[in-house]
A and B are shown apart, each in its own frame.
Chain A
Amino acid sequence: MNALLEIRGLSKRIPSARESSGERVLLHKIDAVIREPESIAIMGGSGQGKSTLLRILACLDSADEGDMYVRGASCSSMEPAKWRSQVCYVAQHAVMLPGSVEDNLRTVSRLHGTVYEQPLAERLMKQSGLDHIPMKGPAGDLSGGEKQRLALIRSLMLRPAVLLLDEVTASLDAISGRLVEDILLEWHREEGAALVWVTHHADQASRAASRIWTLKDGTLTDSELSCESGISDETAGSVRER
C-alpha cells in the first residue's frame, strides 16, 4: 500500500554570506514517511528549516533535489494545484481574502467549482466559537485570533489529506490556541487527515502529536512519542535553546 506522504532525498540550499561557498545546506537528503493519517510535530531551533520544509511540502517553495509523493503520486509529475488540493499549507499569519467572512468560507467551492458545504462551515464556525460573527461582515475586520480560526476552517473546507500547520497557534492567546488545537485534533480523528505541525512548544507537541520530526544541521530525526514518555531530552533541548 502506498504511503500517505513520502519524502525522498529532499535537499535545499539557501544563500548565505557567512559560508565561503556563498550558500548553506538547509536540508540535506531528507527522507520521511507518513504511512497513515497521524499527527506529527516538526521541532528544532531557529533557522533549521522547519518552515522551509513545510513550504516545500506544500509546493510553495522548490527543493534543489529530491521528490515528494502523495499516495504514491510524485509531486514533480503532478499539477501543482492538484498537489496543493491534497497537501494544504496553513500559514502562521492568517491572510484574509478580500470580501466577507462568507466569501472566505466559499473560496474552496468557488475555486474548484464544487458545492459549498454550508452545514460543514456552520459546524466548524460553531466549534471554533465564531458562530457569533456576522457572515456578511468584512473578514479583514476580524481580530487576529478570529482570522486564524477562519483561515483554518477555510483550509478544512478543502478536505485535504495532509494539513501543514506552520506555527498556527503562535500568534494566539492560550485559550484561542487550545481551541484551534482541539478543532484540528477532532478533524484529524473524524476525517482521517494527517497533521504536520511546526511548533516551538514541547507541551503542544506532546498534546497534539504522536511522532516528532526534529530538524538539526540539515538532517531530520524521526522519533515516536507516546503519552507516557513525552518528548525526548534531545528534542526538548533543541526547543529549550530558544
Chain B
Amino acid sequence: MQLISLQVLDLQALDLQALWLTLRLALSTTALLLLLALPLAWWIASGRGLGRVLVQAMVALPLVLPPTVLGYYLLVAMGPLTAPGRLLMRVFGHPLAFSFTGLLIGSAIYSLPFAVQPLVAGFGGVDASYLEAAAGLGASPWRTFRSVVLPLTRSSLLTSAVLAFTHTVGEFGVVLMLGGNIPGAKRTLSISLYDQVQDFNYGAANRTALVLLGMSLVALAAIYLLPGLQKTNGRQADVVR
C-alpha cells in the first residue's frame, strides 16, 4: 500500500522547483497563447479561402505531430547550428534552447491548437447578424469584437485558457527536448515524474502524479463550475422574432 500513500502535503519530498517552473511556464504560455489565439481564431472563423485552410492545418499540426519531433525541430531552429538560431541568439543574447524563453516558445507552439480551436468554434457560433447590428450602429470591427463578440464567447475563452494551461502542465516531449532535463533549472513536473519512476522512487512519483492530476482536475472543473458561462453564444435573445 505504499504506492498510494497520500503524503501530498509533504512538500519537502516534492520537487518544488519543478512545481514552480511548471506553474510559471503554464501561466506564461496561457497568457501568450491567448494573445496569439484571439486574433488568429477570429481571422480563421471570419472567412473562407485556401489561406485560412492552410493556416488552420498548420495550427492543428501539433495535435498529430509527435511532441519529440516538434521539440527536435525547435531545438535545431533555436540552436547555434542554423541561421534562424543564430539570429535568435543575437536577439536574446543567449541560446534559446535550454532557456525559459525557449521552453515558452515550444510550449506555446505545442498547445496552440488547444487554445485556437475552442475560440474558432466559439467565434463561428456567433450569429453574424449581431456583427451587422453593431456595424450598422457605427462600431468599428475592433469595437464590435470587444463589446459584442468577446462577451458572447466567454465560455470559449475560458475553455481555451484552461486547455492551454492544462496541456502545458502535462507536456513532456517538447520540454524534454528543449529543456534538456537540467535538474532544478529546466525540469517541469511531468519530467520530474518520469525521473522519479526511473529511480524507482514511487513514493515521490505518486505525489507528483497526484499534484498533476489535481491541477488538471481543478482547471477543468472551472469550466463546468463557473455560472453563466454556458451557452452564451447570443442565440437566446431573439427567440421571439
Partners in one complex: no
Please give the residue numbers on chain A whose beta carbons come within 8 Å of chain B beta carbons, in ascending order: none
Please give the residue numbers on chain B whose beta carbons come within 8 Å of chain A beta carbons, in ascending order: none
